[in-house]
Chain A
Amino acid sequence: MRLELQGISKRFGDLVANDRISLTAEEGEIHALLGENGAGKTTLMNVLDGLYRPDEGVIQIDGAPVHFANPGEAIKAGIGMVHQNFMLIPVFTVSENVMLGFERTRRFGFLDRGRARQEIGELSRRFGLEVDPDAMVGDLSVGQQQRVEIVKALSREAHLLILDEPTAVLTPQETDELFTVMRSLRASGRTILFITHKLKEVLAIADRITVIRQGKVIGTTRPSETTAQDLASMMVGRGVDLQVKKTAARPQEPILEVHNLTVLDETGRVAVDGLNLEVRAGEIMAVAGVQGNGQTELSEGITGLALVIAGSVRIAGRDLTGASPKTILRAGVANIPEDRQRDGLVGDFQIAENIILDVHDEMPYSLHGALRWPSIFEVSQGRLSDFDIRAPSVHVAVKTLSGGNQQKVIVARELPRHIRLILAAQPTRGLDIGSIEYVHSRLVAARDAGAAVLLISSELDEVMALADRIVVIYRGRLTGPFDAASLGREQIGLLMAGSAADATRPGETA
């Protein structure tokens, strides 16, 4: 099946998510769509899937224009989508999930579970997608769930498979298995649209690569005609050098001392596994790693948001293991959370209210339980200009600001306090370049003022640009620390993939 997109545009209010995108995927081809987070990949796929309607442009399948009013029509046209967030129902079995919307029935609409089971078995064998039709999806591992999604698409006779960031949550082994499946699907004549932001994978599996940036197609190329470096610069459009002006670090006494920390995730699995870490005043320690390797739980363990089941956390010499988030904030911890809209801001509140979110019960913002609005507005006004927040006034709701300005509001709240430790989780995700540079310079300035900075990031460029020392997190354990200057991108990449973790695990850190 040949897919051709001609000038697809999709806008959400003022935001242009897709700007006249054109690309062609040939039959029997693995076509990679490469772009940063927020480049507009997922929007494009939702257009293809019939979830969104494009504002402009034409979709053609095998030369004929098609319009999808809903996902059902896209499925009928032979498009099978594997969403980044799996569209599976945890309380259903595998076969129920696979047949949903495409049910095999006997008389009177009774489900023919036997037939569904049999068809799943056939597909599994044919493409090496092993799944148990009677297992509850909620009980399966992420890799198995992805297989269910692929089986689901294939059972609807999809000839074009769209895989949206399929490797984001997979282990390296699972990724390899996925690639094997993708090759066998290609061999059967199916077309695959592979959406990702990972350069290495694109080079390993794609036949052709289309790079998009800020909603626009930058170009299409082949793995044989390009290099990782070229692709990266097409993706980010800034010659990859994310340079931050900074002098050598002058680390002093340890501020954050994490010893043997063990934290469970919400399901009760060990997410942070006996981890040791030390961050000193005046240095930036980066925790590099692929998303979902325990970063969230690490920061929640330090800030008191998750239950610490073993080990200890000392901040500036005080044992704060299991202390309340409030106590930890009071001890001089600035927290820039990973999901800023969910955890960092109250969207409906004014900027001024967001500026005092976690300090509202301190002087000068309140006295004896009463808020002092004049001081709050005055301080916020100052922060607006100090932190270059572009907003008409401190009274506007923070949800009306751009992502960059929202992040600046958080920075403007967290950094001016008396800070010993800064915990910055994915602090520049989804931001424009100006804001990224601004946030970076603020973090460096805070370091130079004597704060300890713990940077948790899955962006390798960011880690390389900012860190003085680096640890790599993989499955809840750390490798390192390494001196940032002594470590190349390649090595970090390997460690992030977990390949060297067992070999080089030094156990205790310095």
Chain B
Amino acid sequence: MSDTVSRQGEMRRDIAATRRRGFGIALFVLAAIILLLFARGTTPDARTTFQFSAPPAPSLPPLPFRALPVLLGLGIVCALLGVVQILWKKNKRIYLLLGVGLALTGVAFLAWSGKGATVDVEGLLMTSLIEAVPLTLGALSGLLCERAGVINIAIEGQFLVSAFLGALIGSASHNLYLGLLAGATAGALVGLVLAVFTITYAADQIIVGVVLDAFALGLTSFFLQSLLAPHQDTLNSPAVFSPISLPLLDRIPIVGPLLFNQNIFVYLTIIILVAVQVALFRTRWGLRVRAVGEHPRAADTVGINVQRVRYRNVILGGIVAGIGGASFTIGSTGQFAPNMTSGLGYIALAAMIFGRWRPLGALGAALLFGFTDALQFALSILNVPIPSSFLTMFPYLATILAVAGLVGKVLPPAADGKPYTRE
């Protein structure tokens, strides 16, 4: 075992070095895409207009610009970032650099695809952010579980059950906060079932997760049809949380409408995200959680109750996913529809993996995935010949690339997925 300890140290260093190189190459690839794909087909006089205005912030004039110089500039910056990434060995923020590169590529993409037209950048960002809310919450749910060593594939199921109950209770009680509470509770209950089966009875975590998803899908569709459908007006037509604007802050151009004029789910997501990030890495609770996920026996020998930590985290994760699930109904569309999450729980899982089991990483991944989703609408308006199916595929392909180590391999918590027993 002591061999294993130092072996993992070596492995980590190796991975860090390969990852830096991989990320550098990835940045070069992005630069190449900008320069060769976007800039090459752009005539010098092509113009793009970016639109940044949204109420309630004071409206900004549209920003027209020549596409070609901007594309060339973005491509060169991206390539420079790649050089920095590879040469600057002590850089601790390699993910930030990659994130910047991806963002630049996004801007370049918009500048290229919007030639001769106006791109509503603010609207695009808004959609991305709203798409990212359930993804981030789902990813945080997965993260809370997996950091403690329990794989949570049941995020999708938690989404469905809580979206359903959120709509039902929100509608029947005419109280959206009760609906939110019901959603969180529903998520926690699914979490509890996952915990009982996998922690107490040591059943295979992936199997239980997959089956719980099927269970949730069946159960919600069943009750939707048998209970809700005959009484849509009373049982399945909740109101929707309306935006809460923070005075003054919501007047800040660009940022204000995005961050300070949203409904409760956006604020909750930000609060939960910050809380998890800080608690996981700065507090006693977080230290113990990570210890249980990495080496449960070691945690046990210093008097930490492994099973209790796991139970607590799986249920906490259920609550977080439950809030995310409730956002599908009482946060956006109101009504519950069969299989309305359509696999977003799995994208949330992908976001967690892509974000390397870290809260901020999960947020970054969720925003990226949300952005590609938002692009679908933008592109259909701009008439760009990229089938929307390919954009939908992006999160999945990106995750495959990430786990295959093509851009630097990601490592899960060491004891993730392994039941713990003493004797």
A contacts B: CB pair < 8 Å: yes
A residues neighboring B (CB under 8 Å) = 12, 49, 51-52, 70-73, 75-76, 81, 83-92, 96, 99-103, 105, 108-111, 136-142, 145-146, 152, 169, 265-269, 292
**0/1 string, B283-309, CB within 8 A of A gives 1:** 111011011001101111111110000
7 nearest CB pairs, A to B: A72-B303, A138-B9, A85-B1, A101-B302, A87-B298, A267-B10, A90-B8
Minimum Cβ distance to chain B for residue A264 (Å): 11
Contacting residue for B304 out of A85, A88, A101, A137, CB 8 A: A101
Tell me, in angstroms, the Cα distance from A169 to B4 when the chains sit together.
13
Tell me, in angstroms, the Cα distance from A418 to B422 when the chains sit together.
44
Asked if A71 and B300 sit within 8 Å, CB to CB, the answer is: yes
The answer to whether the Cβ of B386 comes within 8 Å of any Cβ in the partner chain is no
Determine the chain B residues whose CB is within 8 A of the CB of A140 once the complex forms. Answer: 5-6, 9
Minimum Cβ distance to chain B for residue A37 (Å): 16
Determine the chain B residues whose CB is within 8 A of the CB of A72 once the complex forms. Answer: 302-305
Minimum Cβ distance to chain A for residue B337 (Å): 42
Tell me, in angstroms, the Cα distance from A136 to B11 when the chains sit together.
13
Asked if A96 and B287 sit within 8 Å, CB to CB, the answer is: yes
Tell me, in angstroms, the Cα distance from A268 to B8 when the chains sit together.
11
Determine the chain A residues whose CB is within 8 A of the CB of B9 once the complex forms. Answer: 90, 136-140, 267
Known: A87-B297, A88-B5, A145-B2. 14 other contacts (CB 8 A): A70-B303, A81-B301, A89-B291, A89-B294, A99-B287, A100-B287, A100-B291, A136-B12, A138-B10, A139-B6, A140-B5, A146-B2, A267-B9, A267-B10
Determine the chain A residues whose CB is within 8 A of the CB of B305 once the complex forms. Answer: 70, 72
Minimum Cβ distance to chain A for residue B286 (Å): 8
Q: Provided the pairs A91-B294, A111-B287 are in contact, do residues A267 and B304 lie with their beta carbons within 8 angstroms?
A: no
Kindly report which residue of chain B lies nearest to residue A91, judged by CB atoms: B294
Contacting residue for B303 out of A88, A101, A292, CB 8 A: A101
Asked if B298 and A89 sit within 8 Å, CB to CB, the answer is: yes
Contacting residue for A70 out of B7, B285, B294, B300, CB 8 A: B300
Tell me, in angstroms, the Cα distance from A136 to B12 when the chains sit together.
11
Asked if A145 and B284 sit within 8 Å, CB to CB, the answer is: no
Determine the chain B residues whose CB is within 8 A of the CB of A267 once the complex forms. Answer: 6-7, 9-11
Asked if B423 and A266 sit within 8 Å, CB to CB, the answer is: no
Kindly report which residue of chain B lies nearest to residue A292, judged by CB atoms: B3
28 interchain pairs (CB within 8 A)? Answer: A51-B301, A51-B422, A52-B422, A71-B302, A71-B303, A75-B303, A76-B303, A84-B1, A85-B1, A90-B4, A90-B8, A91-B12, A92-B287, A100-B299, A101-B291, A101-B303, A103-B287, A105-B283, A109-B283, A110-B283, A111-B284, A138-B5, A138-B8, A139-B9, A141-B6, A142-B3, A142-B6, A268-B14
The answer to whether the Cβ of B93 comes within 8 Å of any Cβ in the partner chain is no
The answer to whether the Cβ of B90 comes within 8 Å of any Cβ in the partner chain is no
Max count, chain A CB within 10 A of own CB: residue among B4, B9, B14, B423: B9
Contacting residue for A142 out of B2, B10, B300, B304, CB 8 A: B2
Asked if B2 and A87 sit within 8 Å, CB to CB, the answer is: no
Asked if B299 and A101 sit within 8 Å, CB to CB, the answer is: yes
Contacting residue for A111 out of B5, B8, B14, B282, CB 8 A: B282
Asked if A103 and B284 sit within 8 Å, CB to CB, the answer is: yes
Kindly report which residue of chain B lies nearest to residue A75, judged by CB atoms: B303
Tell me, in angstroms, the Cα distance from A66 to B369 when the chains sit together.
56
Kindly report which residue of chain A lies nearest to residue B281, judged by CB atoms: A111
Determine the chain A residues whose CB is within 8 A of the CB of B287 once the complex forms. Answer: 92, 96, 99-100, 103, 111
Asked if B282 and A110 sit within 8 Å, CB to CB, the answer is: yes
Tell me, in angstroms, the Cα distance from A110 to B10 when the chains sit together.
30
Asked if B301 and A87 sit within 8 Å, CB to CB, the answer is: yes
Determine the chain B residues whose CB is within 8 A of the CB of A85 once the complex forms. Answer: 1-2
Asked if A137 and B5 sit within 8 Å, CB to CB, the answer is: yes
Determine the chain A residues whose CB is within 8 A of the CB of B283 once the complex forms. Answer: 105, 108-111
Contacting residue for B2 out of A91, A96, A169, CB 8 A: A169
Tell me, in angstroms, the Cα distance from A85 to B3 when the chains sit together.
9
Asked if B5 and A145 sit within 8 Å, CB to CB, the answer is: yes
Minimum Cβ distance to chain B for residue A91 (Å): 6
Asked if B10 and A71 sit within 8 Å, CB to CB, the answer is: no
Determine the chain A residues whose CB is within 8 A of the CB of B294 once the complex forms. Answer: 89-92
Minimum Cβ distance to chain B for residue A61 (Å): 17
Tell me, in angstroms, the Cα distance from A102 to B282 when the chains sit together.
15
Minimum Cβ distance to chain A for residue B225 (Å): 44
Minimum Cβ distance to chain B for residue A451 (Å): 31
Tell me, in angstroms, the Cα distance from A103 to B290 when the chains sit together.
14
Contacting residue for A89 out of B2, B13, B295, CB 8 A: B295
Determine the chain A residues whose CB is within 8 A of the CB of B302 once the complex forms. Answer: 71-72, 75, 87, 100-102, 152
Tell me, in angstroms, the Cα distance from A102 to B302 when the chains sit together.
8
Asked if B301 and A71 sit within 8 Å, CB to CB, the answer is: yes
Determine the chain B residues whose CB is within 8 A of the CB of A103 once the complex forms. Answer: 284, 287
Asked if B5 and A51 sit within 8 Å, CB to CB, the answer is: no
Kindly report which residue of chain A lies nearest to residue B12, judged by CB atoms: A138
Asked if A109 and B2 sit within 8 Å, CB to CB, the answer is: no
Tell me, in angstroms, the Cα distance from A51 to B300 when the chains sit together.
8
Kindly report which residue of chain A lies nearest to residue B297, judged by CB atoms: A87
Determine the chain B residues whose CB is within 8 A of the CB of A139 once the complex forms. Answer: 6, 9, 13
Minimum Cβ distance to chain B for residue A214 (Å): 20
Minimum Cβ distance to chain A for residue B111 (Å): 41
Determine the chain A residues whose CB is within 8 A of the CB of B3 once the complex forms. Answer: 142, 169, 265, 292
Tell me, in angstroms, the Cα distance from A99 to B1 when the chains sit together.
21
Tell me, in angstroms, the Cα distance from A287 to B77 when the chains sit together.
59
Tell me, in angstroms, the Cα distance from A49 to B301 when the chains sit together.
8
Minimum Cβ distance to chain A for residue B208 (Å): 22
Determine the chain B residues whose CB is within 8 A of the CB of A96 once the complex forms. Answer: 287
Asked if A109 and B300 sit within 8 Å, CB to CB, the answer is: no
Tell me, in angstroms, the Cα distance from A499 to B254 when the chains sit together.
72
Minimum Cβ distance to chain A for residue B285 (Å): 6
Minimum Cβ distance to chain B for residue A117 (Å): 15
Minimum Cβ distance to chain A for residue B321 (Å): 24
Minimum Cβ distance to chain B for residue A53 (Å): 9
Max count, chain B CB within 10 A of own CB: residue among A87, A141, A142, A145: A87
Minimum Cβ distance to chain B for residue A262 (Å): 18
Kindly report which residue of chain A lies nearest to residue B413, judged by CB atoms: A91
Determine the chain A residues whose CB is within 8 A of the CB of B298 once the complex forms. Answer: 87-89, 100
Minimum Cβ distance to chain A for residue B301 (Å): 5
Q: Which of B371-423 contact A (CB under 8 A)?
A: 414, 422-423
Max count, chain B CB within 10 A of own CB: residue among A101, A110, A140, A152: A101
Tell me, in angstroms, the Cα distance from A131 to B304 when the chains sit together.
24
Tell me, in angstroms, the Cα distance from A268 to B7 when the chains sit together.
9
Tell me, in angstroms, the Cα distance from A417 to B21 when the chains sit together.
49
Minimum Cβ distance to chain A for residue B418 (Å): 15
Max count, chain B CB within 10 A of own CB: residue among A76, A100, A137, A169: A100
Kindly report which residue of chain A lies nearest to residue B295, judged by CB atoms: A89
Minimum Cβ distance to chain A for residue B251 (Å): 33
Tell me, in angstroms, the Cα distance from A137 to B2 when the chains sit together.
10
Determine the chain B residues whose CB is within 8 A of the CB of A109 once the complex forms. Answer: 283-285
Determine the chain A residues whose CB is within 8 A of the CB of B1 once the complex forms. Answer: 84-86
Minimum Cβ distance to chain A for residue B27 (Å): 27
Tell me, in angstroms, the Cα distance from A84 to B289 when the chains sit together.
24
Q: Which of B301-324 contact A (CB under 8 A)?
A: 301-305
Max count, chain A CB within 10 A of own CB: residue among B6, B283, B285: B6
Determine the chain A residues whose CB is within 8 A of the CB of B304 once the complex forms. Answer: 72, 100-101
Determine the chain B residues whose CB is within 8 A of the CB of A265 once the complex forms. Answer: 3, 7
